[in-house]
Chains A and B, each alone.
Chain A
Amino acid sequence: MIDVLSNLDRRWVFAAMFVAVGWPILSGVRFKEEPSEGVRRVFRAIEDLPEGSTVLMALDYDPSSQGELQPMASAFTRHAAERGHKIYFMTLWPAGSPMIERSLRIVEQEYPDYVYGEDYVNLGYAPGLEGAIKAVVDDLRGQFATDARGNSLDSMPLTEGLRNIQNMDLLVNVSAGDPGAKQWVQYAATPHDIAMVTGTTGVQAPSLYPYIPEQLDGVLGAIKAAAEYEQVLSVAYPKFAESVKAQEGLRRMGPQLVAHLLMIGLIVVGNVIYFVERSRGPGGRR
């Protein structure tokens, strides 16, 4: 048995992973999430703002991270709209514009009373990497001649008097890498004391924890935190518990659990093989 496992073709591991992830998706198995304190902090950052507060929603990701980050962006958008905040969308990533469109569709379909230009606006893609953050912090008009739809910023109540983002009540960032959350902390949140929360890919999350709580109010790290955020949102606003669209992250935690169990099993088996082979000595089989 040990010999078979130690010489197992790695493609069998891929096949096992396919089953481990595919079966929960097909069966629709789901688990309840218990929101952590970190997730509750992020929730409170949006929840505790007075109605009508200004929120800059910087969605810095593209389709390759959509599976992990779209649930966060959708949850942030729903939460901000539910609280009646004024939302300014923008992105530092060229392929981030279609991601913003997904959030705009949520606002248009689920919050018909929200008026474009009065309650939310799409500033679009800002080229210039981290330099674009510096630009919108100091002089937003220098970075955006119009909004993403070609409307004059002076023609919309939401952007009429907007000169920079220093007076935003909250900066919400969904980030897949650079430029992203780290740069928003460095160029906007820290020097100008702008309150900020972020949702990031798992790869990026550990590098952002040192900024909490002084420079960053909270981090949603990976799909687990996204699912917890959806959970806390559905408790605060029961209508989200009924909506299948508002549970994308929760849905993706079923495959996570089974895949993690498989990985733990593989690690244990790998270690057993290692110790058995070591006990056999350099001669090999017994």
Chain B
Amino acid sequence: MNENNRVWWILFLVGGGALLVRAATTEFGKSYARDQTVYVTVEGGTAEVDAVPGLPTAESDAAHPDAARWTRSLAADPGERDDPHVRFSWADTIGLWCAALLTLAIFSFLFGDNPGYRLAEAIFVGVSAGYAMIAGFWEGIVQLLLAKLIPVATKEHFLPGLEPDPRWADDWARYQSGDLGYVAAEWAATTLLSLVPLVFGVMLLMRLSPKGGWISRWPLAFFIGATAGLRLIVHFESDFIRQIQATLLPLIVFKEDNSFDLAQTLANVTIVVGVLSSLVYFFFSKEHEGVFGGVSRLGIWFLMITFGASFGYTVMGRITLFAQRLEFLFDDWLWIIDPLQRRAGL
């Protein structure tokens, strides 16, 4: 057994032993959920929603005749588990343990690359991609494309809350009363311009085709051109003109009562000198020597201080993320701390 494996086994045994001791002496790693039954009644195009605590009962069903209903479970604190509507949740508990073990798997990379880390990384990438795809489908394909191209079908099957555009409100009413067929209603409501993004989208997908890959270059060229044009304008206004304006500052500042404002004067001088000297550092058409070289070296100092501040901020960010994961492990999983008093009374 090499040293790495020996350390792994020790960590595994110590960690597992600690968990067993904790499990034998106290509770931890449990999630609870609060059940809620939602009744929805639609009258005159307006939905009336009534959320009733607990699972559906004969009484609650009788109180909401002709209503559609579903149940949902909301996260509950362990301290609320005596509430009759709060129950132990296997699903959330499994999720909690998965999150905790995956967090430890990611941390394990600090010791060295290992299969546990690679598994956690793959799950993270896969879940993120899947989530983004589903969100993109509902918010992009359904809301931005189908709602314009086939609004009648979209309203009927995907988005009941989709408001009929004034242009097709009459046709929608006629369709609902049976005076107008589906195809005619859809034709009256469609926005044919939406075919353009649809066609572009299909052309982009041709990239996957072994022979028709070249077709994807046309919409790609359009997107690149449009994005470049858009960015050119906003960068020119926001990051060029307005930034130059912001640098044109008075080098001697007086307060409203005409007294000398030393702090603001120093701040303005620092900004102006910092900008000019940093620009000089990036001016390569003249040898950096003499006064010019001195200003250039001053520019390097400003740049280094900026990078240092940036690095300091980055470190702070990373420590925060680490602290948040440890909080999760100690609080949600192991129940060692309770900063939010979610287990008060247990």
Contact = CB atoms under 8 A, between A and B. Distances in A.
Contacts of A185: 238
B313 A25 contact: no
Contacts of A222: 313, 316-317, 320
A88 B17 CA distance: 49
Contacts of B243: 210
A202 B313 contact: yes
Contacts of B315: 202, 260, 263
A68 B320 contact: yes
A66 B237 CA distance: 32
B324 A66 contact: yes
B144 A145 contact: yes
A154 B110 contact: no
B246 A210 contact: yes
A11 B161 CA distance: 56
B309 A206 contact: yes
A94 B161 contact: no
Contacts of B284: none
Interface centre among A17, A21, A66, A127 (most CB of B within 10 A): A127
Interface size class of chain B, counting residues whose CB lies under 8 Å from the partner chain: 35 or more
Interface residues of A, number: 64
Contacts of B341: 244
B323 A67 contact: yes
B299 to A, nearest CB: 16
A67 B131 contact: no
B59 interface: no
B245 A25 contact: no
Interface centre among B132, B139, B144, B312 (most CB of A within 10 A): B139
A21 B235 contact: no
A26 B148 CA distance: 54
B84 interface: no
Interface stretch (A47-55, A232-240, A250-258, A277-285): A250-258
A256 B162 CA distance: 48
Interface stretch (A76-84, A164-172, A186-194, A268-276): A186-194
B132 A94 contact: yes
B147 A259 contact: no
Nearest to B239: A186
Contacts of B238: 185-186, 190-191, 215
A94 to B, nearest CB: 4
Contacts of A11: 110-111
B161 A244 contact: no
Given A11-B111, A21-B326, A186-B239, A206 B313 contact: yes
Contacts of B239: 186
Nearest to A62: B128
A199 B195 CA distance: 39
B327 interface: yes
A223 B316 contact: yes
B317 A252 contact: no
B317 A215 contact: no
| 4 nearest A-B residue pairs (beta carbon) | A67-B324, A202-B313, A202-B317, A152-B163
12 contacts: A11-B110, A18-B326, A22-B326, A26-B330, A145-B148, A152-B161, A152-B163, A191-B238, A202-B313, A203-B310, A206-B306, A210-B243
Interface of A: 11, 14, 17-18, 21-22, 25-26, 28, 62, 64-68, 94-95, 97, 124-128, 130-131, 134, 143-147, 149-155, 185-187, 190-191, 201-203, 205-206, 210, 214-215, 221-224, 244-245, 251-252, 255-256, 259-260, 263
